[in-house]
């Protein structure tokens, strides 16, 4: 039990590197269950409601001002919608009537009216009205919290150095964090490949996930030391521990200095074999880190973050500008992935169908081939941007050949239409993410149609081992070293090479230093990862003889367990004096 002053250690899954020491900021869902209460004086409850409206209006106007400064006028529009709901005469009169006629408390009346409005919006034909449900929830929750005297936590307002402790952070919450003040986050659930973890690596914020409920033993404002690499968390660290961690930080800095000498070098093995080491990005704002880390190009632009940060489907022009900016600012090839929404990634303005297993459901290309109007807008933006750099387009979650044929058809149609409108279309490649086992099985067939493969190992491993990538309980089945995973990778790479095509890995496996010798041995054409890992992997590649690594591949594919694979790799590293 945490009494407040004692030093306590525990562990989670290290999800984003870096060491931080700051006080805890607890982010708990503090909304209580709203109970129906019969009241004697409706007038008092109506006054509470009116007062809450005034306070909420001030808060929303304040948020709008801040959003304009930080994100621009366009993104701040959502707060106008919130004000509209807050002042809506129909909503106000329904709440007042309920309080008066049913003699109930204001909070319960608001939650009832909110439900009526949400149901009404959901049943409408217009997508725009359906999208207002999230706004109704936001505004009415704010009103209830004001009435009940519950604090409303706004992450973007944090202005002192803290480590956030939460059940989970949604990807959009993660993308809002101000990296000047947020020194790290620690979450109860999640795995190394959950999207908040991936975002943390992009933002270069240390993160530890999947800690379990013990995370809420941490008290508000307690000093926390976290190591996002090892997953260690220390509450109230003593001076010796702080000293040890400082030393660790110094050593990391030294290693980094050596790695920096690889910034302007080619990605090439000791015996002269070339590969590409590229970056994964989520927005044009990540380009600075791409160039600072001497990346060979962009191996994965996850375009869903453009959609998740928006208040409505991004327009063709907005997308075109974002893709053009990335293509113009990077020397090498840029692989842009079409919208991969669904699973753990949702949108404020689109209601996904309820599904038991969203990771196996209406996701990525499955959604876009269903909503072709949305898909066409993205295709047009991509094709227009193709004139501004070396573009490759990547389609997520392809499971059957027919899907990819339909995609190719749509690209052709849009290309023809754009040309007839006078647009110049550049040369571009069209490939697929290989992340579903059926696609691995038919890799030889897919290789005839796709210009390239990009292996999404985060999903491929979850589907291969039937283990949800978000679940802590089955995280032992995230088995990147297993011969089952490695045999799949070898088959994919070989199938592409047979057709003269190339293969990249853009899942987290690409940045696992211990796997670098195996991937070099397999002849992987492109490693794509968070920019901060590039120089480390380039250095390791430079220390490996590909011909030796090929022999290692033969060995690792023929053992039974991932532990045996790790032992074989360690022997290889020792023999070749490679220190990770």
What is residue 334's three-state secondary structure? strand
Three-state DSSP string of 379-434: HHHHHHHHHHCCEEEEECCCCCHHHHHHHHHHHHHHHHHHHHCCCCCCCEEEEEEE
- Least CB distance from residue 187 to Mg ion, whole Å? 20
3-state helix, strand, coil in the chain (%, to 5): 55, 15, 30
- Least CB distance from residue 175 to Mg ion, whole Å? 18
Q: Are 254 and 260 in contact (CB under 8 A)?
A: no
Place of tokens 């991509």: 382
Distance CA 327, CA 322 (A): 9
Q: Are 373 and 127 in contact (CB under 8 A)?
A: no
At 251, give phi and psi (nearest 5°). -60, -40
What string of DSSP letters covers 61-123? HHHHHHHHHHH-HHHHHHHHHHHHHHT-HHHHHHHHHHHHHH-B-HHHHHHHHHHHHHHHHHH
Q: Within positions 457 to 476, which residues make up the interface with Mg ion, using CB under 5 A?
A: 459
Nearer to Mg ion, 139 or 505 (CB): 505
Distance CA 475, CA 467 (A): 7
Span from 99-107, 227-235, 424-432, 453-461 in contact with Mg ion (CB under 5 A): 453-461
Nearer to ligand PEP, 278 or 458 (CB): 458
Distance CA 13, CA 466 (A): 20
Nearer to Mg ion, 426 or 437 (CB): 437
Q: Could you say which of ligand PEP, Mg ion, none residue 391 binds, taking C-beta under 5 to 8 angstroms by partner kind?
A: none
Span from 130-138, 159-167, 206-214, 450-458 in contact with ligand PEP (CB under 6 A): 450-458
Place of tokens 């947020």: 182
Does 340 participate in binding ligand PEP (rule CB under 6 A)? yes
- Least CB distance from residue 434 to ligand PEP, whole Å? 10
Nearer to Mg ion, 139 or 365 (CB): 365
Does 286 participate in binding ligand PEP (rule CB under 6 A)? no
Query: Would residue 166 be called left, alpha or beta, if left means φ above 0 and alpha means ψ between -120 and 50 degrees?
Result: beta
- Least CB distance from residue 565 to ligand PEP, whole Å? 19
Q: Could you say which of Mg ion, ligand PEP, none residue 286 binds, taking C-beta under 5 to 8 angstroms by partner kind?
A: none
Nearer to ligand PEP, 81 or 461 (CB): 461
Give the count of residues interacting with ligand PEP (CB under 6 A).
11
Q: Within positions 519 to 578, which residues make up the interface with Mg ion, using CB under 5 A?
A: none
Q: Residues with Cβ < 8 Å from 345, sequence gap 6 or more?
A: 171, 195, 304, 308
Distance CA 494, CA 440 (A): 11
**CA angle (18, 13, 436) in 5-degree steps:** 110
Does 456 participate in binding Mg ion (rule CB under 5 A)? yes
Q: Could you say which of Mg ion, ligand PEP, none residue 302 binds, taking C-beta under 5 to 8 angstroms by partner kind?
A: ligand PEP
Does 458 participate in binding ligand PEP (rule CB under 6 A)? yes
Q: Which of 232, 259, 435, 512 binds ligand PEP (CB under 6 A)?
A: 435
Give the count of residues interacting with Mg ion (CB under 5 A).
3
Q: What separation in angstroms does the CA of 287 have from each of 101, 290, 291, 580?
A: 59, 5, 6, 27
Does 302 participate in binding ligand PEP (rule CB under 6 A)? yes
Q: Which of 459, 468, 512, 525 binds ligand PEP (CB under 6 A)?
A: 459
Distance CA 468, CA 462 (A): 6
Nearer to Mg ion, 227 or 304 (CB): 304
Which candidate, 196, 161, 155, 160, places its Cα nearest to that of 177? Answer: 155
What positions carry a catalytic annotation?
195, 506
Q: Could you say which of ligand PEP, Mg ion, none residue 457 binds, taking C-beta under 5 to 8 angstroms by partner kind?
A: ligand PEP
Q: Could you say which of Mg ion, ligand PEP, none residue 506 binds, taking C-beta under 5 to 8 angstroms by partner kind?
A: ligand PEP
Other beta carbons less than 10 A from residue 55's beta carbon: 14
Q: Within positions 474 to 513, which residues make up the interface with ligand PEP, using CB under 6 A?
A: 506-507
Does 524 participate in binding ligand PEP (rule CB under 6 A)? no
Nearer to ligand PEP, 414 or 458 (CB): 458
**How many alpha carbons fall within 13 Å on the CB side of residue 578?**
26
Q: Are 432 and 404 in contact (CB under 8 A)?
A: yes
Nearer to ligand PEP, 276 or 459 (CB): 459
Q: One symbol per residue from 388 to 427: x for binding ligand PEP (CB under 6 A), - otherwise; what is it?
A: ----------------------------------------
Nearer to ligand PEP, 222 or 457 (CB): 457
- Least CB distance from residue 458 to ligand PEP, whole Å? 3
- Least CB distance from residue 454 to Mg ion, whole Å? 10
Span from 102-110, 140-148, 451-459, 538-546 in contact with ligand PEP (CB under 6 A): 451-459
Q: Within positions 411 to 440, which residues make up the interface with Mg ion, using CB under 5 A?
A: 435
Which residues of the chain form contacts with Mg ion (CB under 5 A)? Answer: 435, 456, 459
Contact residues for ligand PEP (CB under 6 A)?
193, 300, 302, 340, 435, 456-459, 506-507
């Amino acid at each position: 039990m945490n009494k407040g002053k004692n030093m306590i250690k525990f562990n989670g899954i290290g999800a984003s590197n870096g060491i931080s020491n700051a006080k805890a900021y607890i982010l708990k869902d503090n909304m209580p269950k709203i109970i129906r209460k019969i009241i004697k004086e409706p007038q008092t409850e109506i006054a509470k409601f009116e007062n809450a409206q005034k306070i909420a209006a001030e808060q929303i106007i304040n948020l709008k001002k801040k959003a304009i400064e930080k994100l621009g006028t366009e993104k701040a529009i959502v707060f106008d919608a919130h004000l509209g709901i807050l002042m809506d005469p129909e909503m106000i009169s329904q709440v007042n009537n309920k309080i008066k006629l049913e003699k109930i408390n204001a909070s319960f009346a608001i939650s009832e009216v909110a439900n009526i409005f949400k149901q009404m919006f959901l049943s409408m034909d217009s997508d725009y009205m359906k999208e207002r449900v999230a706004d109704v929830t936001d505004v009415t929750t704010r009103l209830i919290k004001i009435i009940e005297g519950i604090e409303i936590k706004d992450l973007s307002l944090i202005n002192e150095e803290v480590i956030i402790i939460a059940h989970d952070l949604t990807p959009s919450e993660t993308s809002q964090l101000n990296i000047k003040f947020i020194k790290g986050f620690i979450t109860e659930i999640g795995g190394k490949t959950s999207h908040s973890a991936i975002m943390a690596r992009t933002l270069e914020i240390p993160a530890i996930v999947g800690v379990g409920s013990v995370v809420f033993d941490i008290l508000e404002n307690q000093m926390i030391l976290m190591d996002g690499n090892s997953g260690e968390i220390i509450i109230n660290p003593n001076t010796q521990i702080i000293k040890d961690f400082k030393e660790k930080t110094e050593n990391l800095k030294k290693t980094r200095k050596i790695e920096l000498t690889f910034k302007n070098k080619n990605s090439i093995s000791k015996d002269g074999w070339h590969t590409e080491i590229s970056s994964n990005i989520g927005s044009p704002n990540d380009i600075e880190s791409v160039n600072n880390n001497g990346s060979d190009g962009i191996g994965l632009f996850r375009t869903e973050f453009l959609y998740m940060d928006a208040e409505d489907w991004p327009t063709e022009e907005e997308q075109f500008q974002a893709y053009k900016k990335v293509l113009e600012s990077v020397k090498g090839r840029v692989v842009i992935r079409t919208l991969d929404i669904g699973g753990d990634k949702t949108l404020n303005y689109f209601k996904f169908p309820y599904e038991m297993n969203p990771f196996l459901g209406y996701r990525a290309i499955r959604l876009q081939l269903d909503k072709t109007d949305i898909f066409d807008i993205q295709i047009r933006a991509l094709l227009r941007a193709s004139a501004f750099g070396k573009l490759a387009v990547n389609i997520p979650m392809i499971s059957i050949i027919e899907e990819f044929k339909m995609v190719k058809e749509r690209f052709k149609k849009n290309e023809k239409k754009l040309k007839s409108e006078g647009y110049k279309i550049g040369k571009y490649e069209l490939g697929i993410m290989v992340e579903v086992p059926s696609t691995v099985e038919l890799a030889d067939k897919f290789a005839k149609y796709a210009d390239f493969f990009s292996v999404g190992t985060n999903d491929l491993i979850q589907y291969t081992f039937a283990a949800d990538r978000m679940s802590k309980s089955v995280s032992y089945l995230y088995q990147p070293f297993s011969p089952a995973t490695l045999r799949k990778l070898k088959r994919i790479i070989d199938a592409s090479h047979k057709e003269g095509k190339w293969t990249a890995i853009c899942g987290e496996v690409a940045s696992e230093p211990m796997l670098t010798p195996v991937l070099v041995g397999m002849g992987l054409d492109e490693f794509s990862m968070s920019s901060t890992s590039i120089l480390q992997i380039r250095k390791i590649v430079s220390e490996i003889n590909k011909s030796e690594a090929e022999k290692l591949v033969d060995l690792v594919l023929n053992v039974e367990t991932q532990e045996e694979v790790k032992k074989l790799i360690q022997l290889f590293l020792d023999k070749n004096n490679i220190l990770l």
